[in-house]
């Protein structure tokens, strides 16, 4: 292809930022790229397993009907309308969702009951409350709690620590982020 062309320059036009970025390849770069692509083609041709990897291209993929990630939708679509809710997969997922929702409800009730028990024990000055079969021990302790990294108050906390000059005493190196930066060649 284009045998009379001796060198190629790539130019990316970033119209939004009104910027041009150009780059070129030496013959060695191109040979390396060709070797890499040929190796990749061989790897693909010799593959016997094709694990699914969900991505934005799934929306246009013509293998969805046999893909483990999507084929259940095709099974459902092939059923007569009155049989859809009887399908085993749908029933199992619906049951799981129902049970998880019940569990969330029960967990909320447990927390509310503990809170009420604590208030009662506080008001009556009792550290053991007896039920008809079981007894609840009330323990009081002060626990420090800090906003986690997703909490917007976390930024405020970090600012306060930095301003107090204590940042180096309480923070430590994040090895996962360090490894990522090294992998990215930063």
**Residues found near ligand SF4 in the complex (CB under 6 A):** 52-54, 57-58, 61, 63-64, 67, 69-70
**CA-based Rg of the chain, rounded to a whole angstrom?**
31
Q: Give the C-alpha separation, 88 to 151, whole Å.
A: 40
Min CB(54)–ligand SF4 separation in Å = 5
In whole angstroms, how close is the CB of 15 to ligand SF4 at the nearest point?
Answer: 30
CB of 89 to ligand SF4, least distance (A): 17
Q: Which is nearer to ligand SF4, 52 or 161 (CB)?
A: 52
Q: Which is nearer to ligand SF4, 73 or 85 (CB)?
A: 73
Phi/psi-derived region of residue 152, left when phi > 0, alpha when psi is between -120 and 50, beta in every other case: alpha
Q: Residue holding tokens 């619906």?
A: 94
- State which residue, 59 or 150, has the beta carbon closest to ligand SF4: 59
Q: Are 71 and 64 in contact (CB under 8 A)?
A: yes
Closer by beta carbon to ligand SF4, 39 or else 73? 73
List of E strands, 69-134? 128-130
In whole angstroms, how close is the CB of 77 to ligand SF4 at the nearest point?
Answer: 15
Nearer to ligand SF4, 40 or 157 (CB): 40
Residues with Cβ < 8 Å from 128, sequence gap 6 or more? 135, 136, 137, 138
The answer to whether 119 and 125 have CB atoms below 8 angstroms apart is: no
**In the complex, minimum distance from the CB of residue 55 to ligand SF4, in angstroms, rounded to a whole number:** 6
63/120 with CB nearer ligand SF4: 63
Residue carrying the six token digits 């550290």: 127
Q: Is 118 exposed, middle or buried (0-12, 13-18, 19+ CB in 10 A)?
A: middle
Provide, rounded to whole angstroms, the least separation between the CB of residue 87 and ligand SF4.
21
């Amino acid at each position: 292809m284009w045998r009379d062309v001796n060198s190629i320059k790539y130019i990316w036009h970033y119209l939004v930022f009104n910027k041009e970025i150009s780059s070129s390849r030496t013959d060695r770069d191109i040979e390396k790229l060709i070797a890499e692509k040929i190796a990749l083609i061989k790897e693909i041709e010799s593959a016997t397993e094709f694990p699914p990897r969900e991505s934005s291209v799934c929306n246009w993929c013509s293998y969805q009907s046999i893909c483990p990630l999507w084929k259940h939708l095709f099974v459902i679509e092939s059923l007569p309308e009155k049989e859809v809710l009887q399908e085993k997969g749908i029933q199992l997922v619906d049951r799981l969702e129902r049970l998880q929702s019940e569990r969330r409800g029960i967990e909320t009730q447990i927390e509310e009951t503990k809170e009420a028990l604590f208030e009662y024990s506080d008001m009556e000055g009792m550290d053991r409350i007896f039920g008809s079969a079981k007894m609840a021990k009330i323990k009081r302790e002060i626990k420090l709690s800090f906003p986690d990294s997703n909490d917007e108050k976390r930024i405020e906390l970090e600012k306060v620590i930095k301003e107090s000059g204590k940042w180096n005493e309480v923070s430590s190196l994040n090895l996962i982020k360090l490894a990522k930066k090294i992998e990215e060649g930063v």
